[in-house]
Structure 1
Amino acid sequence: MSNDNDTNSAEIDPDEAIADAWAAALEEQKETEQTGEAHSGMEGVRRMDPEDFSSAKTAPATDVNLNMVLDVPVTIAMEIGRTRIPIRNLLQLNQGSVVELDRLAGEPLDVLVNGTLIAHGEVVVVNEKFGIRLTDVISPSERVRKLR
């Protein structure tokens, strides 16, 4: 009989083991935050803000090799407007339904590259295909300001 009690008392409860592991991890995190050490092996590395790049001197254009990035594909999208509707109304849409957007007729479209606004423009037709004429390009400093 005492053998059964000994084996039961020697078994480790899985919930307690997990709780102990979490407690140890949280304690280690507190120690890291207090000492300012980077646990990932990146001692001496600091986090940079967008302002750090705006004042940095850039190399002359002749020293930059853009060939590395020229073939990187990006997604460009033209957005004429947005709206928010409940799922109930979304499920009621069918052919011929009209959805009101948050833009006025004649207002410029947004030009987005990988989801980031880079310009505004207007719709044109070129060889029976839709296109967009850029009317206002967002400056790089303005794009950085919007990231904050």
Structure 2
Amino acid sequence: MSDESNRPAESGTSQTTENRPLGFLMDVRLQVSVELGRRRYRISELLSLDQGAILELDKVAGEPLDIRVNDHLIARGEAVVVNDKFGVRLTEIIMNADRMGGLDLMEKSS
């Protein structure tokens, strides 16, 4: 009969990482995309498209663009041109408290 309560805790358990600052994650790369709009199409509709066809989207001209990180909506903004390249000026940051709940993303200064 084994007594699991006498076993030493495994390294990397939630108890040891729970309060660990997450600053080490700051170098992780994430996919950022800017979404003009969405719409569902049937496969038959997509297969009938030719060069020059226009895909109509659900957003009205002038509505803010959605900024997504790893497909999660994090902000909205407006299109701008910077040095002949597209950019996005952030007009709204969407901070979901539940998603960020309790994360210590920066080292605490004492």
Q: How does 1:121-136 map to 2 (within 5 A)?
A: 121-136=77-92
Structure (1/2) with the larger strand percentage: 2
- Residue 113 (structure 1) aligns with: 69
Alignment counterpart, residue 64 of structure 1, candidates 12, 16, 21: 21
SS of residue in 2 equivalent to 1:77: strand
Q: How does 1:1-148 map to 2 (within 5 A)?
A: 64=21, 66=23, 68-141=24-97, 143=99
Where structure 1 has 5 or more consecutive residues not aligned to the other structure, the ranges are: 1-58
When the two chains are superposed, the root-mean-square deviation of aligned CA atoms in Å is: 1.8
Please list every run of 5 or more consecutive structure 2 residues that lacks an aligned counterpart in the other structure: 1-18, 101-110
- The total of aligned residue pairs comes to 82
Secondary structure of the residue aligned to 2:52 is coil
In the superposition, the TM-score normalised over structure 1's length comes to: 0.51
1:143 Cα deviation after fit: 5.0
Q: Which runs of 4+ in 1 moved over 2 A?
A: none
Distance 1:96 1:133 in 2: 29
CA distance in 1, matches of 2:96, 2:39: 28
Structure with bigger RCO (C-alpha 8 Å, 6+ apart):
2
Identity, % of aligned positions: 49
Deviation at residue 64 of structure 1 after TM alignment: 3.4
